[in-house]
Amino acid sequence: MVRRLRRPQSLAELALPQRPGALPAQVRILGLDPGSQRTGYAVVETQAGRIAYIVSGAIRTRGESLAERLQEIFVGVESLTSEFRPDEVAIERVFMHRNADSALKLGQARGAALSATFAARPRVFEYAPREVKLAVVGTGGAQKEQVQVMVKRLLNIAGPLAEDAADALAIALCHAHSRRLHGLVSLAVGTAR
């Protein structure tokens, strides 16, 4: 006899933890641009509509095997998470490369970086590369150099900014600007119940 299971109608039925409707006004955001050789990171803080730069950089892996590099990414992001205690994490969504092997490595690096934040229990948000470029530069087809220039302008950063750090900052900025929309959607879903 085959028993049919009823699909749950809400998150409450799944017994998953629910987040309150509106997102807080003051948060610390960790932006991550994962890669198996270099993982860019950035920490910004939003308060009263202002975005303040805290830190950015890249975790450069030295391990010979992929497993060693993934462990270095995990340890590096875990260290950042324990030091800066982000409330929210913004990470680039995986996109399909022409090379399947590269896409798999990118996905594994992304998994290692994201898993390292779980102890802090942040809210996690994903953004497509075109979405990030559109939010920061105004066009989804922007070049890396354009992203770097706009990130520096938006955050008043003087001096050089490495490509990986600029990409992570762009992801964090994209999320900071998108937070209001996420909050409105959460409220709408909450009131529709």
Which residue is associated with the tokens 């900071």? 176
Residue 6 tokens, joined:
């009823």
Selecting among 45, 78, 92, 167, the annotated active-site residue is: 92
Q: Is 68 a catalytic residue?
A: no
Distances (CA, A) of 15 to 18, 102, 122, 186, 189: 9, 36, 19, 18, 17
Close Cβ partners of 139 (under 8 Å, ≥ 6 residues apart): 133
Selecting among 33, 45, 72, 167, the annotated active-site residue is: 33
Selecting among 45, 88, 164, 167, the annotated active-site residue is: 164
> First vs last Cα of the chain: how many Å apart?
35
DSSP helix/strand/coil, 141? coil
Neighbours of 82 (CB within 10 A): 12
Q: Is 33 a catalytic residue?
A: yes
Per DSSP, 63 falls in state -
Residue 32 tokens, joined:
């991550």
List, by residue number, the catalytic residues: 33, 92, 164
